[in-house]
Amino acid sequence: MADLFVTGAISVLLLLLMAVPGFILGKMKSVNTDSAVKFLSVMLLYILQPFVTFDSFLNTPYDSGVLVNIATVFLFTCVTIGAVLGAGALIAGFIPALDQDAKGVIAYGGAFGNVGYMCIPFLQLMRPGDHVIILYATVSVVAFNLMAWTVGNFALTRDKRHISIKRALLNPPTLSFIVALPLFLLNLNFTEAASLTGAAKELVDGIAEVISFFSDMVGPLAMVLLGLKLSDISFRELFTDPRVYIASSLKLVFYPLLSAALISLMSLIMNVSEISLNLLALSAMPCAQNIIMFSTVYEKDSALAAKEVTVSTLLSVITIPLILMLLSVLPGG
């Protein structure tokens, strides 16, 4: 149990250390923060996340058990996001001091975690070289996007016009998953290509190395992006807004405890040992950064959204290691 706490704590601290250069650059005004954030966001979404997907799938031989786990992780992510989103909306609805915009931002922040930009590099640090665990994380990203562009946007805006199945499907992480999955099913991967010789082997090995290079860039660039965003926030205002603690409690405590309960139930009918770390880690991540984008675009309470992301990220240094300790008592953990 202590080992899980220490490993989790070190992994989170290493991630946040990666944010320090971005924070310093932002504070020193060495770069145009808005332009840098936009550039890094495009890099992460359109280039690096697809490379993470291809790297994990092309280094994993076909296995029917992995396929079952892919479906399980996808459904688990959708179900838990939906459940926490509903619970968040219900809880916020009972607080009369909250306006409608704040209720939507709190519910969204409590349900959607930083799966792509924090969970994936966190798992890379926890299990270096484990392609399968990253494969499952990319599946969570696909489920995240599906829920974010549909029920998530509706919860945030209360307007069905902002539900977009098209954008839920036509985004780089989902499209790369759609391309990579058939390759996995056909067992076309770098492992099977290991028997090649000569120039063909050199070419395939070179492609594998390039994909791996891009995949490994996700963690550092995502954390530099976070550091740049933190540099624009006034920390004096962060911890005096009680609303951020509602969202943070939903995301960092309620969501992972719900996930732990579901994992225990699932263990009664299937083997969850291969995916329990994934399922618990994705649920323990702080509020997703995309809530800032959505709340700004839809003219909701973007200031509250930024506070939720920042406070939950800082608190996650403590909560993520504590939540991971549940793995030692969960069935199959």
| pLDDT band at residue 7 using 50, 70 and 90 as cut-offs | confident
Average pLDDT over the chain, rounded to an integer: 89
**Which of the listed CATH numbers 1.20.120, 1.10.10, 3.30.70, 1.20.1530 matches domain 2-328?**
1.20.1530
Q: How many percent of the chain have pLDDT more than 70?
A: 98
Does 193 have pLDDT greater than 90? Answer: no
Q: Tokens 């607080």 sit at which residue? A: 95
Would you list the domain boundaries of the chain? 2-328
Residues 6+ apart with CB under 8 A from 236: none
Burial of residue 245, with CB atoms counted within 10 A of its CB: 0-12 exposed, 13-18 middle, 19 or more buried:
middle
What pLDDT is recorded for position 292?
81
pLDDT tens-digit profile of 195-228? Answer: 777 888 889 889 999 999 999 999 899 889 888 8
- The conformation of residue 119, written as its DSSP 8-state character, comes to I
Question: Which stretches of 182-309 are assigned E, i.e. beta strand?
Answer: none
Mean pLDDT of 285-300: 84
Distance separating alpha carbons of residues 18 and 49, to the nearest angstrom: 18
What pLDDT is recorded for position 76?
97
For 124-162, give the DSSP string.
HHHSTT-HHHHHHHHHHHHHHHHHIIIIIHHHHHS-GGG
Residues 6+ apart with CB under 8 A from 109: 88, 247, 248, 250, 251, 287, 288, 291, 305, 308, 309, 312
Does 188 have pLDDT greater than 60? Answer: yes
Distance separating alpha carbons of residues 138 and 142, to the nearest angstrom: 7
- The conformation of residue 197, written as its DSSP 8-state character, comes to -
What pLDDT is recorded for position 159?
83
Backbone angles phi, psi at 169, to 5 degrees: -100, -35
What are the b/e assignments for 56-84, b being 16+ CB within 10 Å?
bbbbbeeeeebeebbebbbebbbebbbbb
Distance separating alpha carbons of residues 267 and 284, to the nearest angstrom: 19
| 8 A C-beta contact, residue 111 and residue 283 | no
Which of 224, 219, 249, 268 is closest to 311 using CA atoms? 249
What pLDDT is recorded for position 331?
66
| 8 A C-beta contact, residue 281 and residue 122 | yes
What pLDDT is recorded for position 123?
93
Residue 287 bridge partners (DSSP): 113
pLDDT tens-digit profile of 225-283? Answer: 888 888 877 777 777 888 999 999 999 999 999 999 999 999 999 999 999 999 999 99
Distance separating alpha carbons of residues 76 and 272, to the nearest angstrom: 12
What is the pTM for the complete model shown?
0.91
